[in-house]
Structure 1
Amino acid sequence: MFVTAQQLEKQMPDATRLLSDEPEMETSLHYMQLLLLVTCLEWLWRDHNDFFIGANLTIYFSRQQLRNRDFRGPDFFLVKDTEKHPRSSWVVWEEDGRYPDLIIELLSESTADVDRNLKKSLYENRFHTPEYFWFSPENLEFVGFELVGNKYQEIVPDRRGWCWSEVLGLYLGVENGKLRYFTFDGELVPTPEEAAMEAQQAAIEAQQIAIEMQQTAIEAQQQVSQTELRLEEEQQRSQRLAEHLRSLGVDPDSLN
């Protein structure tokens, strides 16, 4: 039975003291992948203040969950159209009954079965999360689902193996062993460091172009100067010749 946010709030008067209770990421591969997902999206939406990203953060949604200490926090989740501020956990009844709009689980040997089955069922039937993806940083298994009606249907990847996310307005796909975001046009969404390097490289290239243009201008000016010098030399030769002809009693104009 669905429990309203108001009912949950009455059940849990101490909700504000609920802290996240998730285990550490299993490997450095998982940690780096999670960091990549967070930082890239934060950078892309750096001018927005209407979303929240949870990274290995507990979602509290019912008294039974607390009684059983069955927290089931996703590795990565996104809630759109909400206030962007730090949270120690996501407490559904304190967030107007909002559940994640998108969840990504990072598979590991110990969690893969739970992620593919129990969590998938939870996100489908209780959270009604519109999109659910899982990815293994170890063997690169990547699958996406979208909620159609009340059931998850697998998202058919394109020829590149990428899955389109309506929630993100981006593709998710594997690139160099990492799950990355891509724009509709296929451009990789960079990390802040990659963006800084790209900007630096663009600045270097722009500077090189400016130097080349300046060098071209200098060479053109040199050519103009050389042409002017040749014309001046020819004019001087003509003047000397005319003076020589006059010294011989010959009018140079009469020769034209």
Structure 2
Amino acid sequence: MVSQPLSRLPSTTELPCSDDIPVGLSFGSLSRSEEQNLLPNLLLLALASLWAERMDWFFGVDMAVYHTTGVSTKVPVVPDAFLSIGVERQKANQPRGRLSYAMWEEGETAPILAIELVSQTPGKEYGEKLEIYHRLGVLYYVVYNPLHWKRDQHQPFEVYKLEAGEYQLQLGEPFWMPEVGLGIGRARQLVGGLEREVLLWHNEQGQAYPVPEAEMKALRSQLRKSDQRAQAAEQRAEAERQRAEAAERQIEVERQRAAKLIEQLRSLGIDPDKD
């Protein structure tokens, strides 16, 4: 755990923002599936409508969460989605929105809910990420695994609640979260003319809050922009990798050139080690 005075902790403007962090550096694969992009944003859209009048919450999608419980404050955890309550919906000094979520800038308010969508490549959702959320004090942890639950020996939809300092698997779906005032579970939703299984918020009676089609259109436009940003981030990462490889090749060329020069000097009876 990092022990560092608050005044010395970096601000979110100094830390890599979520767009600049390749997903592969945050326990996931190097690319996100359509489902990983779509489902969290559906929850965000629905919440923006349900809680339109509330200004005390923030819902992050694929956003870096920086904290002081790890080996470095510059190494975040990146949930597919998370909800924090009791924070500013929009920070006064960030009119264009948060670049990332640094807990020391949020009054040490941990997300009350973290959501992970399991991809084809396991991303440590049942191990390392669970341990991180436990350290952060995340009250509810949802793992959605519709395709690979048998491989991972889990259920397609699981909710864990922090009880007596440990995560306990909960029963029932949709699952009601009284501290949040919402339930969460799977439901069928028409998305772009196609019906599919998604995650939706529910009321206490277990009825789903669907996302209107008008908001779906806005979401599709937002997702296209998000995908473009993700591709740009991956291209930057690839360019950095290629530059590093080129530098390694140049070092090897110089090393071989130096070795050849030493050999030539010795063939002339000159000791290269003497001044």
With the length of structure 2 as denominator, give the TM-score of the two structures.
Answer: 0.61
Matched, 1:164 2:176: yes
Selected match of 1:128 from 131, 137, 143:
137
Could you list the structure 1 runs, at least 4 aligned residues long, displaced by more than 6 angstroms after superposition. none
Residue type of the alignment partner of 1:107: V
Unaligned 5+ segments in structure 1 are: 197-256
Structure 2 residue aligned with 1:240? none
Equivalent pair of 2:67/2:104 in contact (CA under 8 Å) = yes
Matched, 1:47 2:53: yes
Show CA shifts across 1:62-91 (max 9, x none): 373346xx4221111111011111200001
Q: Which structure 2 residues correspond to residues 1-256 of structure 1 after superposition, within 5 A?
A: 3=3, 7-18=4-15, 19-20=17-18, 21-23=21-23, 26-62=32-68, 64-66=71-73, 70-85=75-90, 86-112=97-123, 114-124=124-134, 126-138=135-147, 141-157=156-172, 161-176=173-188, 177-193=197-213
Give the whole-Å Cα distance in 2 for the aligned partners of 1:96 and 1:109. 36
SS of structure 2 residue aligned to 1:190? coil
Pick the structure with more helix per residue.
Answer: 1
Equivalent pair of 1:25/1:31 in contact (CA under 8 Å) = no
Instruction: Please provide the CA RMSD for this pair.
Output: 2.4
Q: Return the structure number with greater relative CO, CA threshold 8 A, min gap 6.
A: 2
Structure 2 residue aligned with 1:246? none
Structure 1 or 2, whichever has the larger Rg, is 1
SS of structure 1 residue aligned to 2:120? coil
1:94 Cα deviation after fit: 1.2
Unaligned 5+ segments in structure 2 are: 24-29, 91-96, 150-155, 189-196, 217-275
1:43 Cα deviation after fit: 1.3
Equivalent pair of 1:29/1:137 in contact (CA under 8 Å) = no
Show CA shifts across 1:151-199 (max 9, x none): 0111111xxx322222332221111321111111232212143789xxx
Give the whole-Å Cα distance in 2 for the aligned partners of 1:135 and 1:97. 27
Give the whole-Å Cα distance in 1 for the aligned partners of 2:106 and 2:86. 11
With the length of structure 1 as denominator, give the TM-score of the two structures.
Answer: 0.65
Equivalent pair of 2:86/2:109 in contact (CA under 8 Å) = no
Identity across aligned pairs (percent)? 26
